[in-house]
A and B are shown apart, each in its own frame.
Chain A
Amino acid sequence: MNAFEIVNLSRRDFLKAGAGLTLGIVVPEAPAQMAGPGRAGGSVVASGAFEPNAFVRIGTDNTVTVIVKHLEMGQGTYTGLPTLVAEELDADWGQIRAEGAPADAGRYNNLFFGTMQGTGGSTALANSFEQMRKAGAAARAMLLAAAAERWNVAPDSITITRGAVVHAPSNRRTNFGQLAASAAKLPVPQEVKLKDPKDFVLIGRRLTRTDSRAKSNGTAIYTQDVKLPGMLTALVAHPPRFGGKAKSFDADKAKAVKGVVDVVAIPQGVAVLANDFWSAKKGRDALAVEWEESGAFKLGSAEIMAEYRKLAATPGLSARKEGDPAGAFARAAKTLEAAYEFPYLAHACMEPMNCVVKLSADACEIWNGEQFQSIDQAEVAAALGMKPEQVKINMLFAGGSFGRRANPHADYVVEAAQIAKAHAEKSGGRVPVKLVWTREDDMRAGHYRPMYHHALKGGLDAQGNIIAWQHRIVGQSILAGTAFAGMMVKDGIDATSVEGAANLPYAVPNLGVELHSPQMGVPVQWWRSVGSTHTAFSTETFLDELAAAGGKDPYQVRRALLAKSPRHKAVLEMAATEADWSTPLVSARVGDRRGRGIAVHESFNTVVAQVAEVTVRRDGSWRVDRVMCAVDCGLAVNPDVIRAQMEGGIVYGLTAALHGAITLKDGVVEQSNFHDYMPLRMNEMPRIGVYIARSSEKPTGVGEPSTPVIAPAVANALFAATGKPIRSLPIRIQA
C-alpha cells in the first residue's frame, strides 16, 4: 500500500494486542506533570495491566501523552508526531503531552530504517505519518467504544470533538480521562479508518510546540542536567592528534585536586573522575600525559587539499553518465571550468557532547539525547561484553545535534561506558558517571563534515545552451567502514558523497559525475544535509557561471532546464516571485553594490528554492539583507515548525558560508571555541520569509533541506553584485 509497510511488513501488526501491544492506555497513579522527557517517566505510571511503552497513554487526569520514538533536538518532532496522534484522536491540543521513547527497536524503529531505531535524514515525521495517525485512531475507537458501553448507546451516535465525548440525543458528555480506565479493558481494534485530509482540524494549523514552556523557564532536562545519587563527572584528556594514544600518564597532581576521585586509562585517552565538573576540569588540567603518536595523523589542511587537487585531475569512479560528455565537449562553442573547495566543518551544537552511564551487574543504563539508539546499544554492548538489550536508554532533550549525535561508532557514548567500566573495575564499586566534553573537546573531536574538492566543466553551444556537464568530486567517504556501508556504498560510490550532484535535476543531455574517495585519518560524519552541503554549492554556483557565460538570466536558465521537474520549477518560481526577481535592486548608499542570487535544490525528498539579496560596500564588507525561501515538503503538517526549520537551516548554512572552517596544521585542529569557529550572531541576520507550497502529497522532511541552498544563493548574489564568482567556502571576497 505504501513504502514503509512494504519495507517493514511485520510492523503492520502493531495495533494488534498479540503483537506486544504497542498502543496502550494505562491509568497513572499521579498525573503526568508536564511535557518533556525525564518528566513524565516510568515513576508516575502505575504498573497496570497495560504496557506503558506505547505511542499513546491516556491518563485519568485527561492528559494524552504521546510517546515519541524520535529525538527532539530542536526540529520539532515532539510537536509533529503528537499532532498526528491528536488529529486522529480528536484530542484538544491543550491536553497533549510528549515524552521520549526508550530504546526498543521492536516497537520504536524508524520505518524508513528497517529494524533500526534512530532519527536522521529528515525522516521523523515522514516515516511516522500513518503509524502515529493509526495509533491515534485506534485510541479514539477504544474511547468511543467505552463511552457507547457506558451510556448503552450506538457508537455512531457519539461524537468526539477537541477531546469532548458527546452523546447529543441524551445530552451527555464526558472526556478521555473519565473513559481511560474502561477503554483500557477493551480490545485494540484490528482495523482503523483514517480521516479524509479534508477533515483535518489540527494538521495544517499553527499549534504551540509541546516543549516551548519547559524550554523557556529552565525546566527542560538535557543530558548535562542529569544528576544521580553518587554520580561522578568525568573529563577526558584526548590525544592532540587523531590516531594518537596515551603512552603513559602521571596522575599524582590530578589526584591531589580536591574533589578528584579517580584517574583511569581508557582506549580514547585518560579520564579524570571527580565529584563535580570544576574539580574534574582542574584535575584534567593538572594531569600529565605522554602521547604515543607513531600512528597519528599528521597532515595539515593545505596538504590534504593539495592531494585532492591532484586526484581531481584524474578520472574517478562513475556515479552517473548520460549521453556522450566527451563528444559534446569536443563540439561545444564554449567551455568553462571551475574548481570548488570546502573545509572540514564541526557541528558545534550548543550542548557539547556528554552522556550519563550507570552500570549494574547485568545492565548498562544510559541517559542521553540519542539519535541512533540501535547503534549506540550495539556499540556499548560490544564495549562492555553485554547484549544490546541489556543496554537501557532514557531519552532526554538534545541541545542541538545536526547529525552529530548520530555517530555510526557511538563514539562519545562508548567513551562514557568505558569510563564507567574502568572506574568500576578499579574501585570495585559501580557509580553513575557523567562524561562531559568541554567546548574545546567537542570542537577538536573530529567527526566533521569532510573536506571536499570539486572540479566542474561545462560546455555551451553557440546559443549559450548547456550541452555538456562534467562533475568530479574528491573527498572522504562518510560511510566507508560503518554499518551503513553495505546499504549505501555501491560499487565504491558512497551515496552521501554524490547526492545532489549525481541526481542533478537539470536537463543536460551529456553529463558525467565522478567520485574519488581518498582515505584520511580525520574522522568524518554527516552534517546537516550531508552531501548536499557541498554539492548544492558547486552545482548551483557553476550553473550561474554558465548562465553568465551564455548571456542568460540565471532564473530563466533554471526554469527552462527544469521543465520536467515540476516541484523544483514551482518552488523556484515561488521564491522568484516573492523576491520580485525582475525588479532591479536599489542601493541605499552611493558606492554600494547590490546583488540577488537564486538557488534550488532537493534533499531528503523536499525541494527548497531561495533568493538571497546582498549588499557589498565600497570597503569590501558585505551582508545578506534578505532571504526568500520557498519549500515543497508535501503536506504541511505543522506550518510554523516548517517555517522554523527553514529559518534555522538557513542560519546553519549561512554560518558555514560566512565563517565555518575547521583547519588542521600538522594534524592538530587549529580551532577550539566560538572565537575561532565563529557562529553567526544576531547582527548578521538577514530578514527571512518562508513560503510553503500547497501540497496534498505525503509529508517529507524539513530538518535539513534549507541548509544547503543558502550558500549558493548568497554566492550567486555576490557574483551578481561583483562579477566575481565564489568558489570556496567560507566566502572571502576582495574589496
Chain B
Amino acid sequence: MITLNVNGKSMQVDADPDTPLLWVLRDHLGMTGTKYGCGMALCGACTVHVNGQPARSCSTPLSAAAGKRITTIEGIGQTREGRVLQEAWVANDVSQCGYCQPGQIMSAAALLAKVKRPTDAEIESAMNGNVCRCGTYNRISLAVRQASRNLK
C-alpha cells in the first residue's frame, strides 16, 4: 500500500510503484477528470499539480508522487486561481470537445499561482505543452487573461 495525498485527502493505493500517477488516479481512485491523451508527456491532457508544480501524470510514477501534495481538476476549484479560471472558461465558452480542458486549466492554474499578471509570452510558454485538437487556443489565452484580471 502506498499513501497518496490527493486534493488534501490521504488515500491508500494498492498498485505497483511504477504505475503512472494518471492511471492510479483514474483506475484505482476513480478520479477521471485527469485525461489520457498520449502517455508520453507530449499533450498535457493529464496535467496535475505535484507540490504546486504542474506535472504530466502519465509520466510520473506512483513512487515519485508518494508523500507529495497532489492536486487534480477535481480539487482545483478549491483554490482561488482554479475558481476564477473555471469561471473564465465558462464565461468564454472555451471548451469544444472538452477532453483536453482539465489539463489546460491545471497548467493555467499553476501559472497564475506563480505569476498573477502573466504577459502574453508567459501565457504562451506555460500553455504550449497543452494540445487542443479542437483549436481553442485563442479562447484559452483570453480566458487566462480574464481570470488573471479577476484574481483580486
A224 lies within 8 A of chain B by Cβ? yes
The answer to whether A681 and B128 touch across the interface, beta carbons within 8 angstroms, is yes
The answer to whether A278 and B133 touch across the interface, beta carbons within 8 angstroms, is no
| Count class of interface residues, chain B | 35 or more
What's the Cα separation between A626 and B27 when bound, in Å? 43
Given A218-B73, A675-B40, A398–B95 Cβ distance below 8 Å? no
Whole-angstrom distance between the Cβ of A179 and the nearest chain B Cβ: 30
The answer to whether B98 and A220 touch across the interface, beta carbons within 8 angstroms, is yes
The answer to whether A233 and B32 touch across the interface, beta carbons within 8 angstroms, is no
Q: Which residues of B contact A649 (CB under 8 A)?
A: 135
Partner of B38, one of A400, A439, A685, A688: A439
The answer to whether A685 and B138 touch across the interface, beta carbons within 8 angstroms, is yes
The answer to whether A224 and B98 touch across the interface, beta carbons within 8 angstroms, is no
B70 lies within 8 A of chain A by Cβ? no
Whole-angstrom distance between the Cβ of B125 and the nearest chain A Cβ: 8
The answer to whether B98 and A399 touch across the interface, beta carbons within 8 angstroms, is yes
The answer to whether A652 and B95 touch across the interface, beta carbons within 8 angstroms, is no
* Nearest A-chain residue to B62, judged by Cβ: A278
Q: Which residues of A contact B32 (CB under 8 A)?
A: 218, 221, 224-225, 227
Interface residue stretch chosen among A72-80, A242-250, A447-455, A606-614: A72-80
A116 lies within 8 A of chain B by Cβ? no
Bitwise interface map of B from 21 to 43 toward A, beta carbon under 8 Å scored 1, else 0? 00100111011111111111011
The answer to whether A211 and B95 touch across the interface, beta carbons within 8 angstroms, is yes
What's the Cα separation between A276 and B94 when bound, in Å? 32
The answer to whether A212 and B128 touch across the interface, beta carbons within 8 angstroms, is no
The answer to whether A76 and B96 touch across the interface, beta carbons within 8 angstroms, is yes
The answer to whether A400 and B99 touch across the interface, beta carbons within 8 angstroms, is yes
Q: Which residues of A contact B16 (CB under 8 A)?
A: 258, 278
The answer to whether B134 and A74 touch across the interface, beta carbons within 8 angstroms, is yes
Interface residue stretch chosen among A347-355, A383-391, A533-541: A347-355
Given A278-B27, A674-B38, A650–B135 Cβ distance below 8 Å? yes
> Main SS of the interface on chain A?
loop
What's the Cα separation between A644 and B86 when bound, in Å? 18
Q: Which residues of B contact A214 (CB under 8 A)?
A: 98
B146 lies within 8 A of chain A by Cβ? no
Q: Which residues of A contact B27 (CB under 8 A)?
A: 233, 275-278
Whole-angstrom distance between the Cβ of B15 and the nearest chain A Cβ: 8
Bitwise interface map of A from 199 to 230 toward B, beta carbon under 8 Å scored 1, else 0? 00000000011011111111111101101000
What's the Cα separation between A224 and B23 when bound, in Å? 12
Q: Which residues of A contact B137 (CB under 8 A)?
A: 651, 680-682, 685
Q: Which residues of A contact B138 (CB under 8 A)?
A: 647, 685, 687-688
Given A277-B27, A644-B93, A217–B42 Cβ distance below 8 Å? no
The answer to whether B90 and A208 touch across the interface, beta carbons within 8 angstroms, is yes
The answer to whether B128 and A276 touch across the interface, beta carbons within 8 angstroms, is no
Whole-angstrom distance between the Cβ of A120 and the nearest chain B Cβ: 15
Q: Which residues of A contact B127 (CB under 8 A)?
A: 682
What's the Cα separation between A650 and B90 when bound, in Å? 22
Interface residue ranges of B101-149 to A (CB < 8 Å): 101-102, 105, 123-124, 127-141
What's the Cα separation between A687 and B34 when bound, in Å? 29
The answer to whether A218 and B42 touch across the interface, beta carbons within 8 angstroms, is no
Q: Which residues of B contact A8 (CB under 8 A)?
A: none
A301 lies within 8 A of chain B by Cβ? no
The answer to whether B90 and A213 touch across the interface, beta carbons within 8 angstroms, is yes
Bitwise interface map of A from 303 to 324 toward B, beta carbon under 8 Å scored 1, else 0? 0000000000000000000000
The answer to whether B96 and A276 touch across the interface, beta carbons within 8 angstroms, is no
B45 lies within 8 A of chain A by Cβ? yes
Given A227-B30, A400-B133, A350–B97 Cβ distance below 8 Å? yes
The answer to whether B23 and A278 touch across the interface, beta carbons within 8 angstroms, is yes
A728 lies within 8 A of chain B by Cβ? no
A673 lies within 8 A of chain B by Cβ? yes
* Nearest A-chain residue to B37, judged by Cβ: A350
Q: Which residues of A contact B15 (CB under 8 A)?
A: 276, 278
Given A74-B134, A217-B73, A224-B32, A278–B95 Cβ distance below 8 Å? no
Interface residue ranges of A616-656 to B (CB < 8 Å): 640-641, 644, 647-652, 655
Given A222-B99, A277-B26, A673–B38 Cβ distance below 8 Å? yes
* Nearest A-chain residue to B38, judged by Cβ: A439
B100 lies within 8 A of chain A by Cβ? yes
The answer to whether A680 and B135 touch across the interface, beta carbons within 8 angstroms, is yes
The answer to whether A647 and B38 touch across the interface, beta carbons within 8 angstroms, is no
Q: Which residues of B contact A74 (CB under 8 A)?
A: 95-98, 134
The answer to whether B131 and A674 touch across the interface, beta carbons within 8 angstroms, is yes
Interface residue ranges of A314-356 to B (CB < 8 Å): 348-352
A496 lies within 8 A of chain B by Cβ? no
What's the Cα separation between A678 and B99 when bound, in Å? 18
A519 lies within 8 A of chain B by Cβ? no
Question: Which of B19, B37, B72, B135 has the most C-beta atoms of chain A within 10 angstroms of its own C-beta?
Answer: B135
The answer to whether A439 and B37 touch across the interface, beta carbons within 8 angstroms, is yes
Interface residue ranges of B45-73 to A (CB < 8 Å): 45, 72-73
The answer to whether B131 and A640 touch across the interface, beta carbons within 8 angstroms, is no
Q: Which residues of B contact A222 (CB under 8 A)?
A: 35, 99
Q: Which residues of A contact B39 (CB under 8 A)?
A: 438-439, 673
18 further interface pairs, Cβ-Cβ under 8 Å (given A277-B36, A436-B36, A647-B139)? A208-B91, A212-B90, A212-B95, A214-B98, A215-B98, A217-B86, A218-B34, A222-B99, A277-B26, A350-B35, A350-B37, A400-B133, A439-B37, A649-B135, A675-B40, A680-B135, A681-B137, A687-B138
Query: Which 10 pairs across A and B sit closest by C-beta, in order of nearness?
Result: A218-B33, A651-B135, A399-B99, A215-B98, A74-B97, A74-B96, A218-B73, A225-B32, A276-B27, A215-B95
29 contacts between A and B (CB under 8 A): A74-B96, A208-B90, A209-B93, A211-B98, A212-B93, A212-B94, A213-B86, A215-B98, A215-B101, A217-B33, A217-B73, A218-B31, A218-B32, A220-B98, A225-B26, A227-B32, A276-B28, A349-B133, A397-B99, A398-B97, A399-B99, A640-B93, A644-B139, A648-B136, A650-B135, A652-B133, A675-B42, A682-B140, A683-B124
